Amino acid sequence: MAREPLRGGARERLAASSARKDPARPSRLRIWLKRRRSLLRPALYGIAGLGALALLVQAVRAIDPAGRVRGVTDSFAGLGDGLGLTVQHVILEGRHNTPTDMIRAALGVSRGDPILDVAPDALRRRLETIAWVQRAHVERRLPGTLLIRIEERRPFAIWQHNGRFVIIDREGKVVAADGLDQFGPLPLLVGAGADATGAALYDLLRAEREVHERVQAMVRIHERRWNLRLHNGTDVLLPEGAEGAAIQRLAELQREARLLDRPLAAIDLRLPDRLVLRPTRQAEPAEQPTPQQASRARRG
């Protein structure tokens, strides 16, 4: 009976001893992070440094748009080159008709150039000098990518002027002077001033299908009014400033009397209360000999 306290005390010491020898062990994630701490710190410092460098360059350019501290930005560009911030990829989006050699010439950027030295706004302005390019967007994506997005002008019509044929857009901007057949069937505009005002007349024609499908060319007369040249050779003379009403009247005449299918040289709609039709010139009949001429011919 005297040994019972020893047994209890022994159990308590063992329990205390076990508590001291079994502390909470760190997790596997903490062990992994601790082992790689020496690698993570330089990477984090590098990312933070690049971000601060990019912000500083943008701040310098915003404060000094005229370039009075060009030497400072040049030194930053050199530092970016040392850090691997050079042009490696150029991504182009939205190109369909613009020649790629024109885009390369406008960019003037080569692989390996310091990307921090590339001015997106200057590149945008140069791209927009290309006839096909209506709008452009240039974006730097560090560390080495330039993203170029362009919005091209849409071919609208063929414009004939002074014996020359060119492709124009709806605003009259010339976009191409060769390869005219690669854009499919386009309206034909003829004469000085037809390039700038043809889109409005074309929209009026499209509203009247009976007239539109018979028109071969829209001819600008003295930069004041229009003639419509039909596929059958008829010229339709439209009044100045009242083209819409005249085209509607012409469509009604076509539905009622098939006027546009008749062999006419001209249809004059310039007077609102009068319609003037000029027929095509018919061949003159052969002259018939008189009886006296026929008698002399027989005797001869």
pLDDT at 145: 94
Residue 232 has pLDDT above 50, yes or no: yes
Contact indicator for 61, 89 with CB cutoff of 8 Å: no
Picking from 173, 139, 141, 148, the residue whose alpha carbon sits closest to that of residue 159 is 173
Give the tens place of pLDDT for each residue, 240-272.
Answer: 999 999 999 999 999 999 999 999 999 999 998
Average pLDDT over residues 63-77: 47
Of 75-79, 86-90, 133-137, give the lowest mean pLDDT range.
Answer: 75-79
User: Which two structure tokens, joined as six digits, stand for 87?
Assistant: 């042009």
Q: What is the DSSP letter of 265?
A: E
Q: Running DSSP on this structure, what letter comes out for residue 31?
A: H
Backbone angles phi, psi at 6, to 5 degrees: -65, -40
Check residue 49 and give its pLDDT: 59
